Amino acid sequence: MSLDPTLLSDLQAVLRDVPDFPKPGIVFKDITPMLADPRLFGRVVNAMAAPFRGQHITKVVGVESRGFLLGAPIALALEAGFVPARKPGKLPHKCIVERYSLEYGADGVEMHEDAILKDERVLVVDDVLATGGTADATGRLVTRLGGQIVGYSFLITLDFLEGAKRLGPDKVTSVLTF
């Protein structure tokens, strides 16, 4: 994906690395300074939506929780509906859940069972692609509900963790790669 080089430098200037958060050894990518800048935030939303314009996306699924912050405006930009994918027990209506393994245990993600209709074209959005476990589980939920995964859009990909391989590199786009 070809991006405006000033967007990349502007992003790199505001994103913060927070060492040892949420646990020792993890370097957390803090996107809150980008969210606080309305022009930069808008440019990021447009960059993340751009590869999917004209692909007839009907739903954008935002992965809890920072995927909500990016996914909802991307859905508006693509004139698509927005669907939250949440940790189990957080949604009020009848849900389906997909469990996945983590290096330190297991987790799950769920969506309302009526959130995706058969043959809807779906884009999954999150802030960071690391190992791809959460995004992969979200994609499996979409497929179980009858939707078609058109792609995955991330603000940041941590390339050394190889999450794109898990999702299918041809379906993954990212604004920044580390």
Long-range contacts of 141-145 (CB under 8 A, 24+ apart): 141/85, 141/96, 141/97, 141/98, 141/109, 141/110, 141/111, 141/116, 142/61, 142/111, 142/116, 144/96, 144/98, 145/96, 145/111, 145/113, 145/115, 145/116, 145/117
| Residue 166 appears among annotated catalytic residues | no
Contacts of residue 151, defined as CB under 8 A and 6 or more positions apart, other chains included, come to: 51, 52, 55, 123, 124, 171, 172, 173
Which of 43, 98, 103, 120 is catalytic? The answer is: 103
Which of 66, 98, 120, 121 is catalytic? The answer is: 66
DSSP 130: S
CA distance linking residue 131 with residue 133, whole number of Å: 6
DSSP 150: E
**Considering only CA atoms, which of 176, 133, 136 is closest in space to residue 156?**
176
| Residue 66 appears among annotated catalytic residues | yes
Residues assigned a catalytic role: 66, 103
